[in-house]
Structure 1
């Protein structure tokens, strides 16, 4: 959801930012390349900052961690729509999308959220995720083989980071491999929500029809996949309606796609920019688990998440009023020197790394363990199989213009 971001971005400049406009600095070209100096400034000067648009920005670890668990900061879709609408944004696209999506974990508060989350947890278990490791390894090996066969250079985003999560989703949900191109097309069209409402809505409708067919087939012939597991959960517990089952499948399939892509791309770039840490990982591949945690902290894929104030709350000496929007900057919290020693240093062996890269509290990212596993396998494989991996000569890095997500448009590499 980028309605507010677009408006701020149009007003941002590359020059000095007035004290009252600290939030606008995050929309400048400099911040797009490297937002972390701007986060440091906000933590120093105005850690609980109200932008000129009336949106609150939280950047300290303690404040963000507390806010993630505070039920007075709501994720409810109707509150969110009203809050954005109060800022003067055109909410037609957002409203249509959320109405079609229905009530799901990502847009509800307790008690509905707790009920839906519990039912999904019973199907999306740690054991089921770990069981995917060998399959993920086969996918990554195939993608790397194809990239190497194509020539001495590759765009990591296009060759590995982007196709990986979609391929894994096919295995996890039992989506036939031959349907993958069509599913990818629908995903691309979802991303055009704010550009072409009719195209995006049509894609969502087609995708829901496709999922409805898959669910029906799994009821008749269950398999060892997540849709079958959710169907089984529904049969045992009728609190999950047909509409909620469909919406839960939709969210689980789509949620981890972008996060995994960002994580693999950002992490690979960070390692290439820190050859001492890359060498350390090559020497000790067993570091990959702690390495992925540190890479997530160091350049967090989901830079910020949005909440709306459901009840007046005081944070950092400021009173946030009902109906106001709050941006919780996970990435800024993950570089807070009050929580992390020497936070701007990449250290793959960092102890006590309780980063907030996948959130915290009741809305902790359900797909976080799967995204982490995919990153472990992908990064570990690249480090092991391509010992001469480096940035392509003259590579110009372009970051997508969305301050809530940090993603490279491309990552040209030589090997």
Structure 2
């Protein structure tokens, strides 16, 4: 166990009095444009910070790395709901969504999590992911062809980064091409859950019914797709229930969409802002794979993940009490100078690069290898095929107002 995650020698959980709440600073417009100076200040002044709401903010690499593997920090749906309710949160939208999803890998703890993940791992193998490389390349080339034909400017997020993961996941799960527009519509409605609960829930219900029909078809006529592979696991010793199978399909199809989109978007923005690194990648296409690891470190789409304290523990000398929420800021750890030399510098050949962008421990992102493959192909192809690619309007850049996510609304470029 990391010494920062022991249960002895803690000082009072309230910590030192502060003139201002560092966590509140992350909600400002300035932090929305660039949160990294705020993370640096938090790491320096109060790396295990308790906000005015009573939520813990962890920003050091060693603390977060240890926390991700500590089972006293839970991802259980019921615990999470109780913690948010205790803070006075309105969980109407969240609870209706999680009730539909049931108990899946992403909101369970061991032993249920280990059992469900083992079953998904049987189907979602590295070999299966790598077998998609040629198909991903074809999709990327097609998207770039369409964008170039449309004119001298494009929104790179809308033209390439957004449609890519949806097309790839439909390929992986055997979703017919003609169903893709409808699936995209459902996904857009999921994203408006907090704005229109009824419309979002209706979309979830329709999508769930659609997946159930696909599962029935694969049982009757299996294919070489991921749904067929998951269906096949029901004959194994660790049997998936019908509900767990459907929920697993839902989560695996849905989860990688936004993350992959903004890994490509944020990564391309970083390269366009660092022309020397962009030129380096253009001169050596073999750098594409390590480049994606560095781009994910430099500006990860998932800025933070949430855990709830299941048992009192001490991190960095602060006692976290059962039932409290902890935000683990992956993005802050990725710029921690105790772990990364000159962390604010983009370096596509950075040695020993092990960012926490996709988590760590039992909940390490299952779809991480697929997201990295898509980003590797997309970034490498854009750099190679569009030698004059540049930002159209730096001042127009904006990010969605969510401090736990780093997602561009658009990336206008010329080429």
Quick check: TM above 0.5?
yes
Aligned ranges 1:117-266 → 2 under 5 Å: 117-237=117-237, 239-266=239-266
SS of the residue 1:319 aligns to: strand
Would the aligned equivalents of 1:42 and 1:59 in 2 still touch at CA under 8 Å?
Answer: yes
CA distance in structure 2 between the aligned counterparts of 1:156 and 1:30, rounded to whole angstroms: 24
Question: How much does 1:380 deviate?
Answer: 0.4
SS of the residue 2:413 aligns to: strand
Question: How much does 1:393 deviate?
Answer: 4.2
Unaligned runs of 5+ in 1: 1-17
CA distance in structure 1 between the aligned counterparts of 2:411 and 2:209, rounded to whole angstroms: 35
Which whole-Å deviations, capped at 9, do the CAs of 1:167-221 have from their partners, x for residues lacking one? 0011000000110010001001111111111111111110000000000001111
SS of the residue 1:237 aligns to: coil
CA distance in structure 1 between the aligned counterparts of 2:55 and 2:394, rounded to whole angstroms: 39
Question: How much does 1:117 deviate?
Answer: 0.3
Question: How much does 1:236 deviate?
Answer: 2.5
- 2:264 paired with 1:300: no
CA distance in structure 1 between the aligned counterparts of 2:348 and 2:106, rounded to whole angstroms: 31
Unaligned runs of 5+ in 2: 1-17
Question: How much does 1:113 deviate?
Answer: 0.2
Would the aligned equivalents of 1:190 and 1:200 in 2 still touch at CA under 8 Å?
Answer: yes
Question: How much does 1:399 deviate?
Answer: 0.6
Aligned ranges 1:329-408 → 2 under 5 Å: 329-393=329-393, 395-408=395-408
Instruction: Name segments (4+ residues, structure 1) moved above 3 Å.
Output: none
Question: How much does 1:227 deviate?
Answer: 0.3
SS of the residue 2:396 aligns to: coil
Which whole-Å deviations, capped at 9, do the CAs of 1:288-310 have from their partners, x for residues lacking one? 11100000000011000000000
CA distance in structure 2 between the aligned counterparts of 1:413 and 1:165, rounded to whole angstroms: 20
- Greater mean alpha carbon deviation, residues 392-401 or residues 99-108: 392-401
- 2:99 paired with 1:99: yes
Which whole-Å deviations, capped at 9, do the CAs of 1:18-68 have from their partners, x for residues lacking one? 744100000101100000000000000000000000000000000000000
CA distance in structure 2 between the aligned counterparts of 1:198 and 1:68, rounded to whole angstroms: 34
Q: How large is the Cα RMSD of the aligned pairs?
A: 0.9
SS of the residue 2:300 aligns to: coil
Equivalent in the alignment of 1:60: 60
SS of the residue 1:88 aligns to: coil
CA distance in structure 2 between the aligned counterparts of 1:282 and 1:243, rounded to whole angstroms: 47
CA distance in structure 1 between the aligned counterparts of 2:367 and 2:118, rounded to whole angstroms: 14
Would the aligned equivalents of 1:20 and 1:52 in 2 still touch at CA under 8 Å?
Answer: no
Would the aligned equivalents of 2:83 and 2:323 in 1 still touch at CA under 8 Å?
Answer: yes
Would the aligned equivalents of 1:20 and 1:51 in 2 still touch at CA under 8 Å?
Answer: no
Would the aligned equivalents of 2:186 and 2:207 in 1 still touch at CA under 8 Å?
Answer: yes
Question: How much does 1:238 deviate?
Answer: 5.4
Question: How much does 1:326 deviate?
Answer: 0.3
Which whole-Å deviations, capped at 9, do the CAs of 1:128-162 have from their partners, x for residues lacking one? 00000000000000000000000000000100111
Question: How much does 1:121 deviate?
Answer: 0.2
Would the aligned equivalents of 1:309 and 1:320 in 2 still touch at CA under 8 Å?
Answer: yes
Would the aligned equivalents of 1:398 and 1:409 in 2 still touch at CA under 8 Å?
Answer: yes
CA distance in structure 1 between the aligned counterparts of 2:47 and 2:168, rounded to whole angstroms: 39
Equivalent in the alignment of 1:70: 70
Question: How much does 1:93 deviate?
Answer: 1.2
Would the aligned equivalents of 1:21 and 1:52 in 2 still touch at CA under 8 Å?
Answer: yes
Would the aligned equivalents of 2:119 and 2:238 in 1 still touch at CA under 8 Å?
Answer: no
TM-score, length of structure 2 as denominator length: 0.95
Would the aligned equivalents of 2:74 and 2:309 in 1 still touch at CA under 8 Å?
Answer: yes
CA distance in structure 1 between the aligned counterparts of 2:211 and 2:360, rounded to whole angstroms: 30
Which whole-Å deviations, capped at 9, do the CAs of 1:251-297 have from their partners, x for residues lacking one? 00001001001100000000000000000001110011110000000
Question: How much does 1:235 deviate?
Answer: 2.2
TM-score, length of structure 1 as denominator length: 0.95
Would the aligned equivalents of 2:80 and 2:307 in 1 still touch at CA under 8 Å?
Answer: yes
Compared with structure 1, are the counterparts of its residues 393 and 110 closer, same or farther at alpha carbon in structure 2 (3 Å cutoff)?
A: closer
- Greater mean alpha carbon deviation, residues 295-304 or residues 227-236: 227-236
CA distance in structure 1 between the aligned counterparts of 2:156 and 2:286, rounded to whole angstroms: 23
Equivalent in the alignment of 2:5: none
Equivalent in the alignment of 2:312: 312
- For this pair of structures, how many residues does the alignment match? 398
CA distance in structure 2 between the aligned counterparts of 1:261 and 1:216, rounded to whole angstroms: 30
